A = this chain, B = another copy of it.
């Protein structure tokens, strides 16, 4: 090793931030630890027989396509399927408004690449999805954070911030939002606030980046129209994924946006991976065409509701009364607040000793400013394991009360 690499890397490498979640998870090798940390779907529910048969079928009968390079924008049948699905929701969408991505994380990376110059301002919810923050940060974005409450993003504070930035001559490049069952917040932005977001986006000429991995995983309450449904493809760039409605191991998502944005993503994607995996695209397409998606979601939704209920009951039973927590109507996460004398970063190693893991709240802030929350996942484990995990965590929290 004769290289001094430090003086060769690009300036942006100095802005790369490791995912605290992935770092923490790599510590959890002890099989006795109950992990409420990850954001994984329950593999017990994967429709494995169906997917196995479909995989065998698309390889045996169409290997000239399923094992070969495909178009950058996605294989033709899957694009047709997605266009049809999208047209049910958004009028006037055509193939020029849709591109397949290697899961929505690639979508986030491509959007950061085509929009963000070093020092550009982006507005994000606080807390927000780690992977979204990482993608933006890796292209040297400056973050302005807007808090959430039980009704979603605080649009009143957003409006003040936009006005303040305007006075300073700063025009944000994007507003990054997770309106449904927010990660990690668990809350859903109300229709009224969504309409306000559209209005602000138009008034201040800032595009909305709507990340919606969980929209189809609603197990309670009424669907709220998506931002892109409310605004069409004008100012909204919508990120969707197969990771939660089918399986993350396929690494497939898609973006719906104005054709000019889709064209630029296409160019960025050519040099990022040429095309998404043809094999998994053919599997996902046949899965939907053969009508398995609805069947699978009808299994997933009630199963996750039972798990969510188990987690909320256990929190009520075992957490100290000073704790707070969100009550998600879908998705995968509960966001729990602990009394101010408890630092959830510091508590983490102790929790591991008590054989339970969560994600520290600070991971979901661009500058790690929150030390009194934790994200709890309810989709991976069984209701019994969830209760036991929450019990261990609650007992630990109670020992820390002053």
Which residues of A are interface residues toward B (Cβ below 8 A)?
1-5, 8-13, 16-19, 22, 26, 38, 40-41, 43-44, 46, 48-49, 51-53, 55-56, 59-60, 63-72, 102-103, 105-106, 108-109, 112-117, 120, 131, 134-135, 137-139, 173, 202, 205, 207, 233-235, 243, 247-251, 258, 260-261, 264, 267-268, 270-280
Which chain B residues lie closer than 8 Å to A250 at the CB level?
A: 67, 277, 279
Q: Can you list 14 A-B contacts (CB < 8 A)? A: A4-B205, A5-B264, A22-B270, A41-B68, A48-B63, A55-B56, A55-B59, A65-B249, A67-B247, A68-B247, A102-B251, A103-B274, A105-B271, A249-B279
Shortest Cβ distance from residue A110 to the other chain B in the assembled complex, whole angstroms: 9
Contact A51 B59 (CB under 8 A): yes
With known contacts A1-B233, A247-B68, A115–B8 Cβ distance under 8 A: yes
Which chain B residues lie closer than 8 Å to A116 at the CB level?
A: 10
Return the contact of A52 from the options B1, B59, B64, B173 (Cβ within 8 A): B59
Contact A106 B268 (CB under 8 A): no
Q: Compute how far the CA of A53 lies from the CA of B278 in the bound complex, rounded to whole angstroms.
A: 18
Return the contact of A249 from the options B12, B67, B102, B272 (Cβ within 8 A): B67
Which chain B residues lie closer than 8 Å to A280 at the CB level?
A: 277, 279-280
The complex is assembled from copies of this chain, and their number is 2
Which chain B residues lie closer than 8 Å to A278 at the CB level?
A: 248-249, 251
Q: Is the interface of A mostly helix, strand, loop or mixed?
A: helix
Return the contact of A56 from the options B52, B248, B270 (Cβ within 8 A): B52
Contact A138 B271 (CB under 8 A): yes
Which chain B residues lie closer than 8 Å to A247 at the CB level?
A: 63, 67-68, 279
With known contacts A63-B43, A66-B249, A234–B273 Cβ distance under 8 A: no
Contact B22 A72 (CB under 8 A): yes
Return the contact of A1 from the options B106, B258, B267, B273 (Cβ within 8 A): B258
Q: Compute how far the CA of A38 lies from the CA of B275 in the bound complex, rounded to whole angstroms.
A: 14
